[in-house]
Structure 1
Amino acid sequence: MNEQIIPIPIDIVFTIIFTLISLILGILMILRYFKYKIRELFFAGITWCLITSPFWGDIISYLWYLFFNAPLSDFSYFFLTIGLIPIAHVTWMFFFTSFFLKKNQKLIVAVFFIEAIMFEIVFIYLLIANPSFIGTRVPLISVQWSMFIILYFILSMLLFLITGITFTFQSFKSDSKDTNLKGKFLLIAFVSFMIGIIIELAPIFFDLKYLLSRLIILSAAIEFYIGFTLPNWIKKIFLEETY
């Protein structure tokens, strides 16, 4: 994720808006778990909060420079941007295996837990030994990610995309209109999220690139929330004949 501070401040503004709204939506899903005792909402909420973490580095780096007139350290920036993604893999697989491959849930989650630990060990070692293996920061402007990190981003996207589409397609088989509608919103959310991330990571630059990508990802956050919780006002709009 690129660090936009001086050239296009509006990108940081929208990044802050996107991140705050996404965190609020994630927390709302977690709170619904405590109300309805549906643990899948808890893991979905935690996952969505963690998925926003690649943007935390941009925000904190900008605020750090604003208040201290100095760039955030490479270690802090890279850890904030990448260090929490492996945890999102674990929480997401908790969610996914609650619906699919439930008999093997413990094994699958254990595999991703081990993957997370191994990645964190290698990641932190590289951060300390040679941060250039993670990426190279262009002061106050952008980051050129290493192939190691780009590959990790791609594999992460494939994980969420494949499991997400599998989950949504299964919902289309349900006789419940509510479940069908949830699936449609979740499918739109996964596609929106992937499009936004692809625009974000693509080595093509144009005016307002990051504004566009983060607006699309923001729309995905709202679609995810609707897909997971299906508020009554959404039911009234799309399932009017039921109400």
Structure 2
Amino acid sequence: MQYKKNKNPHFILMGITLILITSGWYGTSLSFLIALVFQNQGLPLEAILLINFLPLPIGMISWISFFLDITLLRYRKKIVLGVTIIYIAIFYIIFLLLLWYNSDLIAEKLSPVDTSGKNPLLNSFILVYVFLFFITGIKFSLDTMKLDDLEMRLRGKFLLVAFPSYSIAGLFDSILPNSELTLILRAILIFSIIDFYFGFVLPKWIKRRAAH
């Protein structure tokens, strides 16, 4: 809707980013639904890993592209995006080779809704992904809060909550086994996605309340 009104390609990048940054949980979520409906063990490990990790790097590319455009670093865009794409291409090659050779070298399936990563490549990619998202997200949020426009400052406040809460909760959720803490982490992730939506889209009812 925002793109149709404004014809701004940045809204497409925002939409892609919002959809893909949560893809790390798509596989286990789908596996849970299949296990619930068919009363089985859900998806095989290979399918979970493919669904979780194939879309995730694309979310990184869309976010980096959006960040460079918005922060007026377009003159560095080709270099930064080039390095990012090379890094992601290397990740894809190694990930798919390991998945084809032996998926147990990447992760272990503990239950229909829980996998445990045990490969340094995968774990390092997650760390780099979270670090980049956290640092660039904080900078973008703070820059947005410095603008004169009241609406943009409000967006920045939502994003300043969304980026660190998503990054920290997502990191711990990916490296820790399922426990009572998992429910808290997943709740934080859900609220962070809502904050992302408010920060990027800012519904009219929030605008009206802020105006008063």
TM-score for both structures, normalised by structure 2? 0.89
Instruction: State the Cα distance separating 1:232 from its structure 2 match.
Output: 2.4
Percentage of pairs with the same residue: 31
SS, match of residue 230 in structure 1 = coil
Q: 1:174 to 1:141 in 2, by over 3 A?
A: closer
Q: Give the equivalent residue in structure 1 for 2:16.
A: 46
State whether residues 195 and 216 of structure 1, in contact with CA within 8 Å, keep that contact through their aligned partners in structure 2. Answer: no
Taking the aligned partners of 1:112 and 1:199, their CA distance within structure 2 comes to 24
Taking the aligned partners of 2:196 and 2:76, their CA distance within structure 1 comes to 26
Q: Give the equivalent residue in structure 2 for 1:92.
A: 63
Instruction: State the Cα distance separating 1:202 from its structure 2 match.
Output: 4.6
Deviation per residue, 1:19-75 (Å, 9 max, x gap)? xxxxxxxxxxxx321321121111011011011211111122123333273442222
Task: Supply the AA of the counterpart residue of 2:15.
Answer: G
Q: 1:90 to 1:158 in 2, by over 3 A?
A: same
State whether residues 33 and 42 of structure 2, in contact with CA within 8 Å, keep that contact through their aligned partners in structure 1. Answer: no
Taking the aligned partners of 1:41 and 1:151, their CA distance within structure 2 comes to 30
2:174 pairs, out of 170, 189, 201, with 201
Taking the aligned partners of 2:144 and 2:110, their CA distance within structure 1 comes to 44
State whether residues 189 and 224 of structure 1, in contact with CA within 8 Å, keep that contact through their aligned partners in structure 2. Answer: yes
Aligned residues: 209
SS, match of residue 97 in structure 1 = helix
SS, match of residue 146 in structure 2 = coil
Gaps of 5+ in 2: none
Q: Give the equivalent residue in structure 2 for 1:164.
A: 137
Taking the aligned partners of 1:184 and 1:95, their CA distance within structure 2 comes to 18
SS, match of residue 58 in structure 1 = helix
Moved over 4 A (4+): none
Q: Does 1:228 align with 2:200?
A: yes
After TM superposition, the structure 1 stretch with the greater mean CA deviation from structure 2, 31-40 or 42-51, is: 31-40
State whether residues 192 and 220 of structure 1, in contact with CA within 8 Å, keep that contact through their aligned partners in structure 2. Answer: yes
Taking the aligned partners of 2:113 and 2:65, their CA distance within structure 1 comes to 37
| RMSD, aligned α-carbons | 1.9
Q: Give the equivalent residue in structure 2 for 1:119.
A: 91
- Which gives a bigger RCO, structure 1 or 2 (Cα 8 Å, sep 6+)? 1
Q: 1:104 to 1:64 in 2, by over 3 A?
A: same
Q: Does 1:72 align with 2:37?
A: no
SS, match of residue 192 in structure 2 = helix
State whether residues 127 and 171 of structure 2, in contact with CA within 8 Å, keep that contact through their aligned partners in structure 1. Answer: no
Q: Give the equivalent residue in structure 1 for 2:4.
A: 34
Q: 1:235 to 1:148 in 2, by over 3 A?
A: same
Instruction: State the Cα distance separating 1:139 from its structure 2 match.
Output: 4.3
Q: 1:151 to 1:219 in 2, by over 3 A?
A: same
Taking the aligned partners of 1:105 and 1:144, their CA distance within structure 2 comes to 35
Deviation per residue, 1:78-119 (Å, 9 max, x gap)? 111122111111111111111231112223222222222221
1:219 pairs, out of 182, 188, 191, with 191
TM-score for both structures, normalised by structure 1? 0.79
Q: Does 1:144 align with 2:116?
A: yes
